[in-house]
């Protein structure tokens, strides 16, 4: 079976910026605290009534198709990794497909900040089946829709954005290996309680239960441990030494988590791709937005290692030949 190679990348972020200085006016925080604890300087926010994650995803996918000179009709499968779908149901992927004039099989995948790498592994297996030739994976999240902008513990961390890749069969390049895990015992430490077990009620709303919640300290520890151990497994299984890796593409949740992961992998700073200062944590979109920002640096055949950790918990690492 052939590998799934990334043949095009695109990203899209809204124009409106929410800077650390803007946040100083909303909550009791400071640019110094946010920068030193997280590495984030600003995030993008999607404004406008009735604009949801599909707006972000559609813009990214349209830019992708234009770049790849590909029509929506040519796509065999579209997977949208998101934790902030437009609606309870239907899937945001269906809305994206309508916009690009595609009737392809399409669905969302929910794996929080690991959604994009989960979706890449799924797309790769569809391509290996031989029945799917052109697959789009888009990671998109409108995190501002689940933020409580009076909670300084969380609102400083997240932003809105989308990134998309086109995957096609290849003999030489593409996704070589994946290590992916989940552990539902993390469910109380990081979540958004909107769903069938948590129906909206006036009390739910009054207590701000419908917003994003996280126990930052506990999540931080799990993230550092699990991202590094998944990356170590990928390196060991594929006999990759630090010097064989061209770049680490980490999920962008916190600069300190990224630094700790790189350190465990014995990678120099110049081989770690970071853009958290510009966008904050865009959940499903961080990894494709990094690819979009850094693709000019990558050479054909470069060994890239991806690593992510998110709500669930979910986590993992991928090895991809660019």
Nearer Cβ to ligand ACO (98/215): 215
- Report how far Cα 169 is from the mean position of its chain's Cα atoms: 23
Pick 77 or 146: Cβ nearer ligand ACO: 146
Whose Cβ is closer to ligand ACO: residue 169's or residue 310's?
310
Does position 193 interact with ligand ACO (CB under 6 A)? The reply is no
Q: In the complex, what is the shortest distance from the CB of residue 86 to ligand ACO, in angstroms, rounded to a whole number? A: 18
List 24, 26, 62, 216, residue binding ligand ACO (CB under 6 A): 216
Count of residues interacting with ligand ACO (CB under 6 A): 24
In this structure, what token pair is assigned to residue 155?
């609102």
Q: Where are the alpha helices (DSSP H) in 43-161?
A: 53-67, 92-99, 115-128
Longest dimension (CA), the chain: 56
Q: Which of 153/303 has CB closer to ligand ACO?
A: 153
Of 113, 127, 137, 235, the one binding ligand ACO (CB under 6 A) is 113
Among 29, 125, 170, 225, binds ligand ACO (CB under 6 A): 29
Binding positions for ligand ACO, 118-177, rule CB under 6 A? 152-153, 156
**Beta carbon of residue 116, minimum distance to ligand ACO (angstroms, whole number):** 12
User: Is residue 299 at the binding interface for ligand ACO, with CB under 6 A as the rule?
Assistant: no
173 CB contacts (<8 Å, ≥6 apart)? 3, 5, 300, 301, 321, 322
Q: Which of 253, 267, 272, 291 binds ligand ACO (CB under 6 A)?
A: 253
How many residues in total does the chain contain?
Answer: 322
Q: Which residues pair with 187 in a beta bridge?
A: none
Confirm if 89 and 191 have CB atoms less than 8 A apart: no
Which positions ≥6 away from 142 have C-beta within 8 Å? 46, 51, 52, 53, 55, 56, 84, 160
Q: Which residues are catalytic?
A: 113, 251, 281
Q: Does 25 bind ligand ACO (CB under 6 A)?
A: no
E strand or H helix at 261, and its extent? helix 255-264
Q: Does residue 35 belong to the site contacting ligand ACO (CB under 6 A)?
A: no
CB 313 to ligand ACO: min, Å? 8
Closest approach, Cβ 223 to ligand ACO, in A, equals: 4
Instruction: Measure the CA–CA gap between 304 and 165, rounded to whole angstroms.
Output: 15
In the complex with ligand ACO, which residue's Cβ is closer, 78 or 219? Answer: 219
Which listed residue (70, 124, 254, 286) binds ligand ACO by CB under 6 A? 254
Minimum CB distance to ligand ACO, residue 166 (Å) = 25
Burial 137-160 (b: 16+ CB within 10 A, else e): bbbbbbbbbbbeeebbebbbbbbb
Instruction: List CB contacts of 25: < 8 A, sequence separation 6 or more.
Output: none
Q: Which residue, 124 or 314, has its beta carbon nearer to ligand ACO?
A: 314
67 lines the binding site for ligand ACO (CB under 6 A): no
Which residues are 304's β-sheet partners? 247, 320
Taking CB under 6 A as the criterion, the residue among 4, 56, 65, 112 binding ligand ACO is: 112
d(CA 153, CA 157): 8
Return the CA Rg of the chain. 19
Residue 310 found at the interface with ligand ACO (CB under 6 A): yes
Please tell me the chain's helix, strand, coil percentages from 3-state DSSP, rounded to the nearest 5.
Answer: 40, 25, 35
Instruction: Please report, as ranges, the residues that interact with ligand ACO according to CB under 6 A.
Output: 29, 33-34, 37-38, 112-113, 152-153, 156, 190, 216-217, 219-220, 223, 253-254, 257, 281, 283, 309-311
């Amino acid at each position: 079976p052939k590998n799934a190679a990334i043949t095009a990348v695109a990203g899209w972020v809204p124009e409106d910026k929410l800077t650390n200085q803007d946040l100083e006016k909303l909550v009791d925080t400071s640019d110094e605290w946010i920068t030193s604890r997280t590495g984030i300087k600003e995030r993008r926010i999607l404004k406008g009534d009735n604009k949801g994650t599909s707006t972000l995803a559609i813009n990214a996918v349209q830019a992708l198709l234009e770049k790849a000179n590909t029509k929506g009709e040519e796509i065999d499968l579209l997977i949208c990794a998101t934790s902030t779908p437009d609606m309870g149901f239907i899937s945001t992927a269906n809305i994206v497909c309508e916009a690009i004039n595609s009737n392809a099989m399409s669905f969302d995948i929910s794996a929080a900040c690991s959604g994009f790498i989960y979706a890449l592994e799924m797309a790769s297996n569809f391509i290996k089946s031989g029945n799917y030739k052109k697959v789009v994976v888009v990671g998109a999240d409108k995190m501002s829709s689940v933020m409580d902008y009076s909670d300084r513990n969380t609102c400083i961390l997240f932003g809105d954005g989308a990134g998309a890749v086109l995957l096609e069969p290849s003999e030489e390049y593409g996704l070589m290996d994946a290590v992916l895990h989940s552990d539902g015992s993390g469910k109380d430490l990081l979540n958004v309680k909107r769903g069938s077990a948590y129906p909206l009620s006036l009390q739910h709303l009054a207590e701000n239960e419908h917003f994003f919640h996280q126990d930052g300290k506990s999540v931080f520890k799990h993230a550092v441990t699990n991202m590094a151990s998944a990356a170590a497994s990928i390196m060991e299984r594929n006999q990759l030494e630090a010097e064989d890796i061209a770049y680490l593409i980490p999920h962008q949740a916190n600069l300190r988590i990224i630094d700790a992961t790189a350190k465990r992998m014995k990678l120099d700073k110049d081989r770690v791709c970071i853009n958290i200062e510009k966008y904050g944590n865009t959940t499903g979109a961080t990894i494709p937005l990094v690819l979009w920002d850094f693709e000019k640096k990558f050479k054909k055949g470069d060994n890239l290692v991806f690593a992510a950790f998110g709500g669930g918990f979910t986590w993992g690492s991928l090895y991809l030949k660019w």
